[in-house]
Amino acid sequence: MTLLLRLLLVLACSLALAACGGGDDEESSGSGGSGDTLSKAELIEKGDAVCKEGNERIAEIPDPQGLEDIATLAESTQAIATDLTADLRALKPPEEVKKPFDEFLALVQEGSDLLTPLRTAAEQGDEAKVRELLAEAEAINGRNDAPAREVGFKVCGVS
């Protein structure tokens, strides 16, 4: 497997995490976690904390060396991404950034949705499909920068 493919895989598998990050109970249960609307500053602080932890969690997973590793990495990342996406969805943005925040979340979900077919393609040894899905993930990642920046995130979605 080429270095480029490995880098693209890490990009795809971290898309949900670099885009949506990770969080802990304390961060996702404060103001905004139970329906309270956050200020823009609170949203940025809490969202970036979620993403920072997610980046740390994904960094703990070893880089894949082959298709079997890609399947394992995609499965591990999917479990993390599901939890982390829920943490972000619990944040209630202020009206001034609701539209880009919702767009950001939609792209996070779109990237996360690639992990199951990526795992399946890797398990089936379909390197062409793996490459196709990684290219799709790279495109989603590129589109996620603009709404993340519009919200004001400094960690989430910012490549």
Summarize pLDDT for 40-83 with one digit per residue, the tens: 999 999 999 998 888 888 778 787 888 888 888 888 888 788 88
Q: What is the pLDDT of residue 35?
A: 64
88 pLDDT higher than 50? yes
Most confidently modeled range among 14-18, 28-32, 138-142? 138-142
Q: Residue 17 in contact with residue 88, Cβ under 8 Å?
A: no
pTM, full prediction: 0.78
Query: What angle in degrees, to the nearest 10, is found between the helix axes of 127-151 and 115-123?
Result: 160
DSSP 53-74: HHHHHHHTSPPP-SHHHHHHHH
Q: What is the pLDDT of residue 112?
A: 86
CA separation for the pair 107, 79 (Å, rounded): 18
